[in-house]
């Protein structure tokens, strides 16, 4: 599709505004992701070495939410500037209204819709699945628990101190371990020649001790008991419950279609809603951008953001209702899109309605 000079000018205006808006939104998103990931690292739920990889993977998962808003604001602010500076009036005087500029507008909108669709349908689920696999593999490392060779470390929630003399490079095996636990006047000392860290049932992790001794007793009564064991497992508690993603969010499109449950269909409709919402928001921005000349730069921005928030909340409510089988599968998430289409039609009719002007006597 070949664009003329005016189309290229409008396309460039929309592209610059959208990219600038996307940059601001991405910085806000990155700051929130950094805070969340640093919190998990400080709580021992994520190794520091996975910070950048998890940041990149989770950013891919957030793109279907960020890009539609960036495009919506980009079209709104870009066309709004043309209206405020009377450039749209000049173009309309030579027969180039919004209808004639749709080629330039959709030359920018449609590629972003395709990008959001590819991200929502394929890239984001693959990124979530890879992220979960990397975290699950990292949870088998002693470094995530916070244990380091040659340093005394206190286990959270157990009033226990652990010392490791040796550790393998991958952090799964250790040698010459010492554990001291004191509670209610009783002490429990465990030593082991070797062992490993293993995980069960998601976040539950255990230290498997081999070939060691255990001494337990009361300090007041000086009554101690010595036991020798071949294997002894110690639970390594988490500081808080895990926040695993929904299983449906990591499944591929064929996997969702093979098991058409309510939750699977809700996830499928949610992924399809991302590119459709991107297109509808761009269409919604066209009548909202129509502002009188020399008006306030951000006059209708608050109304537009309110409409976006209502739209996204309706999609979230619709997904929850669909997963809980409150609404039928055939209805899906089409009703929020239908409401937005109705709002687009009404705004365009309001923008083009004939005004009756009274001539003064």
Contact 98, 104 (CB under 8 A): no
Last residue of a domain, one of 236, 268, 291: 236
Which of 176-185, 215-224, 319-328 has the largest mean confidence? 319-328
Predicted confidence band of residue 332 (pLDDT cuts 50, 70, 90): confident
Lowest-confidence segment of 186-190, 221-225, 248-252 by average pLDDT: 221-225
Q: Is residue 105 part of a domain?
A: yes
Asked if residue 281 and residue 185 are part of one domain, the reply reads no
Q: Both tokens of residue 50?
A: 């996975």
Q: Is residue 144 part of a domain?
A: no
Q: Is residue 109 part of a domain?
A: yes
Contact 205, 145 (CB under 8 A): yes
* Cα–Cα nearest to 244, from 143, 119, 136: 136
Q: Is residue 29 part of a domain?
A: yes
Asked if residue 258 and residue 113 are part of one domain, the reply reads yes
Asked if residue 212 and residue 73 are part of one domain, the reply reads no
Predicted confidence band of residue 358 (pLDDT cuts 50, 70, 90): very low
pLDDT in tens, 77-101: 988 888 887 777 777 777 777 777 8
For the chain, percent of residues with pLDDT exceeding 90:
30
pLDDT mean over 227-238: 79
* pLDDT of the residue at 68: 95
Q: Is residue 147 part of a domain?
A: no
* pLDDT of the residue at 196: 82
Q: Does residue 282 carry a pLDDT above 90?
A: yes
Asked if residue 127 and residue 80 are part of one domain, the reply reads yes
Asked if residue 315 and residue 180 are part of one domain, the reply reads no
Predicted confidence band of residue 318 (pLDDT cuts 50, 70, 90): very high
β-sheet bridge partners, residue 210: 194, 231
CA–CA gap between residue 275 and residue 64 (Å, rounded): 8
Last residue of a domain, one of 171, 202, 236: 236
Q: Starting at the earlier edge strand, list the strands of the sheet with 223-236.
A: 152-155, 160-167, 173-183, 186-200, 204-218, 223-236
Q: Is residue 126 part of a domain?
A: yes
β-sheet bridge partners, residue 183: 186
Asked if residue 261 and residue 128 are part of one domain, the reply reads yes
Q: Does residue 339 carry a pLDDT above 90?
A: yes
pLDDT mean over 61-87: 89
pLDDT in tens, 153-178: 776 555 678 888 888 776 678 888 88
Last residue of a domain, one of 218, 236, 254: 236
Q: Both tokens of residue 297?
A: 């730069």
Which residue range is the domain that position 268 belongs to? 5-138+244-351
State how many domains the chain has: 2
Q: Where is 44: in which H helix or E strand?
A: none
DSSP for residue 149: B
Checking DSSP bridges between strand 152-155 and strand 186-200, what pairing results, if any? Answer: unpaired
Q: Is residue 131 part of a domain?
A: yes
Query: How far are the Cα atoms of 50, 149, 242, 361 from residue 153, in angstroms, in the given order?
Result: 22, 10, 22, 92
Predicted confidence band of residue 241 (pLDDT cuts 50, 70, 90): very low
Measure the CA dihedral 11/290/112/302, to 10°. 130
Distance of CA 48 to the CA centre of its chain: 20
Contact 333, 275 (CB under 8 A): no
Q: Is residue 151 part of a domain?
A: no
Asked if residue 231 and residue 249 are part of one domain, the reply reads no
Asked if residue 117 and residue 249 are part of one domain, the reply reads yes
Asked if residue 229 and residue 132 are part of one domain, the reply reads no
pLDDT mean over 278-300: 80
Asked if residue 132 and residue 31 are part of one domain, the reply reads yes
């Amino acid at each position: 599709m070949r664009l003329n000079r005016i189309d290229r000018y409008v396309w460039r205006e929309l592209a610059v505004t959208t990219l600038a808006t996307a940059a601001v939104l991405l910085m806000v998103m990155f700051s929130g992701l950094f805070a969340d990931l640093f919190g998990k690292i400080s709580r021992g739920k994520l190794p520091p070495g996975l910070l950048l990889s998890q940041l990149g993977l989770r950013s891919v998962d957030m793109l279907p939410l960020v890009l539609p808003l960036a495009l919506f604001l980009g079209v709104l602010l870009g066309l709004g500037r043309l209206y405020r500076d009377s450039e749209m009036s000049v173009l309309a005087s030579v027969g180039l209204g919004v209808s004639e500029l749709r080629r330039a507008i959709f030359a920018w909108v449609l590629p972003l819709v395709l990008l959001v669709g590819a991200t929502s349908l394929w890239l984001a689920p693959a990124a979530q699945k890879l992220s979960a696999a990397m975290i699950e593999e990292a949870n088998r490392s002693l470094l995530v628990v916070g244990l380091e060779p040659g340093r005394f470390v206190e286990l959270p929630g157990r009033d226990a101190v652990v010392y490791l003399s040796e550790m393998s490079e991958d952090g799964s095996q250790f040698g010459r371990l010492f554990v001291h636990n004191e509670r209610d006047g009783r002490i429990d000392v465990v030593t082991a020649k070797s062992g490993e860290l293993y995980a069960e049932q998601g976040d539950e992790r255990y230290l498997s001790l081999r070939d060691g001794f255990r001494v337990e007793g009361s300090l007041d009564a000086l009554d101690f008991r010595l036991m020798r064991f071949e294997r002894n497992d110690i639970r390594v508690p988490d500081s808080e419950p895990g926040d695993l993603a929904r299983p449906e969010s990591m499944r591929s499109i064929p996997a969702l279609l093979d098991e058409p449950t309510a939750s699977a269909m809700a996830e499928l409709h949610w992924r399809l809603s991302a590119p459709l919402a991107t297109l509808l928001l761009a269409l919604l921005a066209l009548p909202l951008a129509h502002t009188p000349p020399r008006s306030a730069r951000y006059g209708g921005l608050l109304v537009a953001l309110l409409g976006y928030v209502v739209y996204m909340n309706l999609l979230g409510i619709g997904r929850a209702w669909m997963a809980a089988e409150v609404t039928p599968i055939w209805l899906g998430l089409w009703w929020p899109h239908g409401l937005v289409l109705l709002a687009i039609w009404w705004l365009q009719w309001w923008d083009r309605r004939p005004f009756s002007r009274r001539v003064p006597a």
